[in-house]
Amino acid sequence: MLLAIDSGNTNTLFAIHDGKDWIVEWRIATNATRTADEYAVWFYQLLSMQSLSFADITDCVISTVVPQSLFNMRNLARRHLNIDPIIIGDEGVDVGIGVDITNPKEVGADRLVTSLGAHKSYEGPLIIIDSGTATTFDIVSADGVFEGGIIAPGINLSVKALHEAAAKLPRIAIKKTEQIVGKDTVTAMQSGIFWGYIGLIDGLVKRIIAEDGRKFTVIGTGGVASLFEGASETIDVYNGNLTINGLLEIWRLNKKEK
């Protein structure tokens, strides 16, 4: 079985693929100081709940945008699973997608992995909107080349900043409001956050299309993307598995025959 680890700025995803399907996924808060042994205790317990063990894991692929976490996740694989993992970004690892920007090394591993997952799933040029700690808009050509994108603050980051910067504004849950104009502080904030992000998404997609001229398939993914379903005018499809599917493809490209 394959263990895929995707470590983002906020959460880290552990997913297991049995050769046919993703059979289970778990999320843990990203903590750069968490040791390999701490990961192992947590992971062992969750595997046990699925009647699985460390011995069932035969391969591992890791993507992270938090370099401080990589040492301990690599040690988790090596010391506890007896696996030398494939690390996205390591020299010699084929990420399966071209990169056409000024400095290819600046692109986060997560964006390349997600772009590959999208390219393998959908035809034509793509706009991938990934809603996480940041909201990214990534352009992938029809022949599988990452062409650049846009990075904006994530919706949860904006909620946090609004609460922390204004003494009288409470922390709110993200919620779609029925009316744009709120009649109280909470609904006014919810409207501003939710519909403000819909405006951000739709506005930027329309500008990309106007500037570029190609007909894109627009895909929503990431932790909060499902909130926008039915509200955005420009997102064609929602798929929460693009990143782990991209990790699966990279593992297939780079695995060593046993």
Q: Where are the domains of the chain?
A: 2-87, 124-245
Q: Which CATH class is domain 124-245?
A: alpha beta
pLDDT in tens, the chain (258 residues): 999 999 988 889 999 999 999 999 999 999 999 999 999 999 999 999 999 999 999 999 999 988 899 999 999 999 999 999 999 988 889 999 999 999 988 888 889 999 999 999 999 899 999 988 889 999 999 999 999 999 999 888 888 888 888 878 888 888 889 999 999 999 999 999 999 999 999 999 999 999 999 999 999 998 788 888 889 999 999 998 999 999 999 999 998 644
Q: How far apart are CA 218 and CA 54, in angstroms?
A: 38
Fold topology of 2-87: Nucleotidyltransferase; domain 5 (3.30.420)
pLDDT at 258: 40
Beta strand pairing status for 145-153 and 98-99?
parallel
Q: What secondary structure does DSSP assign to the chain, as a single string?
A: -EEEEEE-SSEEEEEEE-SSSEEEEEEEE--TT--HHHHHHHHHHHHHHTT--GGG--EEEEEES-HHHHHHHHHIIIIIS----EETTSTT---SSEE-SS-GGGS-HHHHHHHHHHHHH--SSEEEEEESSEEEEEEE-TTSEEEEEEEEE-HHHHHHHHHHHSTTPPP------SSSS-SSHHHHHHHHHHHHHHHHHHHHHHHHHHHH-S--EEEEESTTGGGGTTT-SS--EE-TTHHHHHHHHHHHHHPPP-
Q: Point out the residues that are catalytic.
A: 110
Please tell me the predicted confidence (pLDDT) of residue 53. Answer: 93
- Does the global pTM surpass 0.85? yes
pLDDT digits (tens, 9 = 90+) for 67-104: 899 999 999 999 999 999 999 988 889 999 999 999 98
